[in-house]
Amino acid sequence: MSAAPTAIDAIPGATTRMAATAAAKSATKTVLVTINVQGIGPEAATRPEHELHGRDGHGRYAYGGGLARLLDMLRRQDIRATLFWPAFEAERCRGLLEQSLRDGHEAASQGNAFEDLAALGEREAEVLQRGRDRLATFTGQAPEGFRWTGGGFSARTLPLLRELGYRYDSSALDDDAPYALDADGAPGMVELPWSEGLCDATHFSRRVTQDRAYAHLAEQGDALLAADGYACLTLHPRADHGVGRAARLLMIEKLLDRLRADGARYAVCGDVARRYAMRSD
């Protein structure tokens, strides 16, 4: 006679997620360094570009020095990161995109041009494919991963991403460790959650000091690695809520040194997704 199902068994994907967490705790501590490449794209999605100057043009800093400085820092740290590129930004940063590829970083997709996926209706498949295809034209290969920062998914988003050949998504905040997306309509795909507490924009959008931001980021990183052996650091090259400015990058280097001293190793999202998928087979 089989055992009666427990409450946790009734939650789709719960058993898989618990198994993944248990495996992560026994594995090497892994930190993903991810960069949301955002210049003026978020504002240009709703306003004419010629209006985006001065206080409304913080995103332009990404093009003039923020992203280049981030890439220089990663080179000093000998860390390979995953850069999530909207096609809108990749087109404006061809030189920096090519430099990131030469440095060994992963190019993943952040969609096309900051459209609201949940409001696209029947156009969603077309827009997702356009973003993937435009980025592939710039990089020479289709992206394996996807992240969306512009709002919610529709019920069709994950199945559409799977149809487009994506291996992983990194848009969710609903867990602390990777999990399979089989129960979410995308069998074979993996979710690599990010954490608001381990994101520069969470703290700098609230205008906290760099010391306060570092304390929050370090506390979150330490706790995540201790709990699940997995942490996803998310950075932006902008001047307002990002870390493109020199002083803020020094703070990020201090954080990276701290996590490395605690036994963490750095990996790109695609490698972690592949390892998770192999473990789940």
Q: Angle at Cα 103 formed by Cα 243 and Cα 217, nearest 5°? A: 30
Residue 101 lies in a domain: yes
CATH of residue 236's domain is 3.20.20.370
Residue 5 lies in a domain: no
Nearest to 127, CA basis, from 115, 137, 118, 140: 115
Retrieve residue 224's tokens: 């995540």
Residue 133 lies in a domain: yes
Beta pairing class for 82-85 and 106-109:
parallel
Residue 4 lies in a domain: no
Whole-prediction pTM: 0.88
Identify whether the C-beta of residue 179 lies closer than 8 Å to the C-beta of residue 17: yes
Give how many domains the chain has, as a whole number.
Answer: 1
3-state secondary structure of 174: coil
DSSP string covering 196-264 = GGGBHHHHHTTT--HHHHHHHHHHHHHHHHHHHSEEEEEE---SSSSS-SHHHHHHHHHHHHHHHHTT-
Residue 80 lies in a domain: yes
The CA distance from 58 to 3, in Å, is 58
Residue 160 lies in a domain: yes
Beta pairing class for 230-235 and 30-36:
parallel
The CA distance from 263 to 27, in Å, is 11
* Residue-level pLDDT, tens digit, the chain, 281 residues: 334 443 334 444 555 555 554 444 445 899 999 999 987 656 655 656 666 566 655 666 778 889 999 999 999 999 999 999 999 999 999 999 999 999 999 999 999 988 888 889 999 999 999 999 999 999 999 999 999 987 788 999 999 999 999 999 999 999 999 999 999 999 999 999 999 999 999 998 888 889 999 999 999 999 999 999 999 999 999 888 899 888 899 999 999 999 999 999 999 999 999 999 888 66
Residue 6 lies in a domain: no
For residue 127, what are the domain limits? Answer: 12-280
Identify whether the C-beta of residue 30 lies closer than 8 Å to the C-beta of residue 206: no
3-state secondary structure of 140: coil
Residue 2 lies in a domain: no
